[in-house]
């Protein structure tokens, strides 16, 4: 792979931002999550029927990628927990807070425009603070910006992983593994549903650990991958993600969606190493904009279904299915616009502030950390 760095132990250590496969998977994962959230909009347009709920596995792909990137961007690059937390805050928080503030403003000015949000001061504060709190509109532990429930897990993982930076590389992966497994084992206490204990002890947090171990394996694997085997594993991962939760819905999420997500991420990385992934600028841009797409798509889909219904399109011969490509195109367009006008300028200003003086090399943390979600 081009642009590789050689770590002190002799293993190749490419920059995280140069992995086109990860960028593509971000785009695919965000589109999957947007796709699964089409169902309630179609129901509002009086279109019933089954819908591929396994598309929610895009969240699990994101979690595996997050663990992978956190390992890559910290391994062999000493940094304090405080520096790590500051970089994670700058990456995740500004856009999320802006989107949440937008929802609050809509609830204050025109609350009827939002289907699944109610104004509750404690819920608003919890949403900004990344604390799981019952959504007054749904009763679930969801923030105002509903996809933000995954960010509550992300922030919890960052809190634990950042503290583990005090441990040398060789012991860190073991310490994080033991800690996350111990936390999940607390499910044996049978916590009540929709409580903080049940939320944070979900097996879904082990998907971050899968990503970490993929990072360990990926940096040390020396055998040359083949395109055919990588493609087979990639296709098998997506097939398993579609089949396992459908045939065995009682399976823990870690098994039904997490393990297939790990296979997908590992296979995509190997496929890129084998030279089987072309560099498509448009898909790479969508990967860059995946965080904007992930956060903005619920609002775009809600607005799109309202406009669609007010225009009477389902009633004048246009079937509800035509809403799907139109709504997804709107989500992509808004996400790219949001990324280019808000998310990227914010990141650019952060990078300029962190730029070292002339003559001093960039620090270890300045190598692709901006693309970690």
Percent of the chain with pLDDT over 90: 63
Residue 180 domain-assigned (yes or no): yes
Residue 23 has pLDDT above 70, yes or no: yes
Residue 8, domain member (yes or no): no
57: in domain: no
Q: What domain range is 259 assigned to?
A: 16-46+63-353+364-371
- Whole-number pLDDT of residue 352: 54
Residue 56 lies in a domain: no
| pLDDT for res 159 | 97
78 within a domain of the structure (yes/no): yes
Tens digits of per-residue pLDDT, 107-125? 999 887 777 778 899 999 9
Amino acid 6: pLDDT: 30
pTM of the model: 0.88
pLDDT band at 354 (very low <50, low <70, confident <90, very high): low
Confidence of residue 313 (pLDDT cuts 50, 70, 90): low
In a domain, 123, yes or no: yes
Q: Give mean pLDDT, residues 282-297.
A: 96
pLDDT band at 339 (very low <50, low <70, confident <90, very high): very high
Return the higher-pLDDT residue of 338 and 78: 338
With cut-offs at 50, 70 and 90, classify the pLDDT of residue 204.
Answer: very high
| pLDDT tens digits along 210-236 | 999 999 999 887 778 889 999 999 999
Total count of domains within the chain: 1
Q: Does residue 3 fall inside a structural domain?
A: no
Q: What mean pLDDT is predicted for residues 162-178?
A: 93
Residue 207 lies in a domain: yes
pLDDT, residue 318, reads: 53
Residue 316 has pLDDT above 60, yes or no: no
Three state DSSP letters for the chain: CCCCCECCCCCECCCHHHCHHHHHHHHHHHHHHHHHCHHHHHHHCCCCCCCCHHHHHHHHHHHHHHHHHHHHCCCCCCCCHHHHHHHHHHHHHHHHHHHHHHHHHHHHHCHHHCCCCCCCHHHHHHHHHCCCCECCCCCCECCCCHHHHHHHHHHHHHHHHHHHCCCCHHHHHHHHHHHHHHHHHHHHHCCCCCCHHHHHCCHHHHHHHHHHHHHHHHHHCCCCCCHHHHHHHHHHHHHHHHHHHHHCCCCCHHHHHHHHHHHHHHHHHHHHHCCCCCCCHHHHHHHHCHHHHHHHHHHHHHHHHHHHHHCCHHHHCCCHHHHHHHHHHHHHHHHHHHHHHHHHHHHHHHHHHHCCCCCCCCCCCCCCHHHCC
Statement: residue 261 has pLDDT above 50: yes
pLDDT at 170 over 90: no
For range 44-57, the mean pLDDT: 85
């Amino acid at each position: 792979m081009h642009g590789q760095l050689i770590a002190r132990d002799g293993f190749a250590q490419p920059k995280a931002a140069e992995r086109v496969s990860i960028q593509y998977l971000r785009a695919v994962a965000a589109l999957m999550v947007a796709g699964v959230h089409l169902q309630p909009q179609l129901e509002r347009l009086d279109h019933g029927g089954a819908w591929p709920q396994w598309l929610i596995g895009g969240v699990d792909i994101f979690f595996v990628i997050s663990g992978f990137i956190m390992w890559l961007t910290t391994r062999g690059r000493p940094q304090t927990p405080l520096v790590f937390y500051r970089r994670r805050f700058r990456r995740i928080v500004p856009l999320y807070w802006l989107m949440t503030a937008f929802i609050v403003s809509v609830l204050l000015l025109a609350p009827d425009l939002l289907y699944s949000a109610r104004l509750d001061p404690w819920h608003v504060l919890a949403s900004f603070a990344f604390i799981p709190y019952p959504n007054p509109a749904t009763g679930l532990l969801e923030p105002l910006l509903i996809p933000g429930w995954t960010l509550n897990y992300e922030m919890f993982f960052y809190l634990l992983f950042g503290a583990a930076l005090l441990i040398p590389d060789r012991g860190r992966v073991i310490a994080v593994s033991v800690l996350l497994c111990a936390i999940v084992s607390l499910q044996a206490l049978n916590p009540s549903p929709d409580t903080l204990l049940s939320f944070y002890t979900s097996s879904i947090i082990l998907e971050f650990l899968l990503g970490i171990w993929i990072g360990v394996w990926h940096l040390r694997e020396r055998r040359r991958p083949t395109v055919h085997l990588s493609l087979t594993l990639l296709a098998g991962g997506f097939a398993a993600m579609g089949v396992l939760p459908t045939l065995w819905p009682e399976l823990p999420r870690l098994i039904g969606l997490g393990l297939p997500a790990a296979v997908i991420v590992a296979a995509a990385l190997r496929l890129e190493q084998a030279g089987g992934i072309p560099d498509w600028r448009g898909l790479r841009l969508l990967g860059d904009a995946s965080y904007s797409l992930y956060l903005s798509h619920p609002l775009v889909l809600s607005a799109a279904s309202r406009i669609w219904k007010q225009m009477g399109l389902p009633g004048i011969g246009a079937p509800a299915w035509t809403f799907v490509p139109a709504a997804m195109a709107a989500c992509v367009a808004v996400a790219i616009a949001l990324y280019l006008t808000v998310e990227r300028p914010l990141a650019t200003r952060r990078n300029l502030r962190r730029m070292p003086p002339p003559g001093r090399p960039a620090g270890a943390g300045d190598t692709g950390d901006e693309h970690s979600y």
